Amino acid sequence: MALPSPDSDQWQNPARVFALGVRESLKSVLAYVLFGTFIGIGALAHDTGFSLGWALVSSALIWAGPAQVILMSSLHSGATAIQAAIAVTLTAIRLMPMVVSLLPMMRTPGTRFYHLILPAHFTAVTFWVEGFRLFPLVPRERRIVFGNGMGTGFVLICLIATVIGFQMAAKLPPLFGVAVLALTPLTFLYSTALNAKQTADKVALVLGIALYPLVAIFKTGVDILISGILAGTIAFGVHVWRRRR
């Protein structure tokens, strides 16, 4: 089912709008990617000695597969809680541009800071991609409620998958667990390529892929960040040059 037209009376009921957001999350192709990814997270939690309750809290509060892998791996290897927290925080930096680009689409003149706390928490790769696709179809004053519904739906999918993965851990081949964790970055790359309309977008994507192996040679520990900044800066320069021509 398509979303109602912007002038439909269905947008007047916040509960209905929230339910529409949940429905769209369950319809999304990316929901299947999340499901597979968090089966791997649940299996990893089991194999590294964490409880199911701990894994569920981690999935709800962190809600980022790579960050959860780092958290569990570092704590399991003997790192302190502070060291693990710093590592997880550094991985979250990659999400900041997504938050900065998506939240302005949800703001209205009457929006308060606390209205955006939950959408900011939900903003990850999946939410960001679907937000840019769906928010233009939603009246601006209802986008926060709709986004909260969509984010809630995605998190519920992750929690269910975490439970399944935890229970199936003994039966999952290690290679399968690694493979499902790669679904999210591969899907994000595919979605970004499909949505790259402007020349600058395409230049940034191609350069990011090309520069990463070169930057990785130096083993900085922040290879993705460096290659992303370089590719984005060059792409922005190309964009400015083309506009001045």
Give residue-wise pLDDT tens across range 144-161. 999 999 999 999 999 999
Q: Which amino acid is at 163?
A: V
The Cα–Cα gap between 113 and 93 comes to: 20
Q: What does pLDDT average to over the chain? A: 85
The Cα–Cα gap between 194 and 208 comes to: 16
Flag whether pLDDT at 182 surpasses 90.
no
The Cα–Cα gap between 182 and 125 comes to: 13
Q: How many of the other CB atoms lie within 10 Å of CB of 35?
A: 19
Confidence class of residue 178 from pLDDT cuts 50, 70 and 90? low
Contact predicate 137/127, CB 8 Å: no
Please list, in sequence order, all residues whose beta carbon lies within 8 angstroms of the beta carbon of residue 62, skipping any fewer than 6 positions away. 68, 71, 88
Alpha-helix residue ranges (DSSP H) falling in 77-181: 81-92, 96-102, 117-122, 125-134, 143-168, 174-181
Say whether 3 sits in a helix, a strand or coil: coil
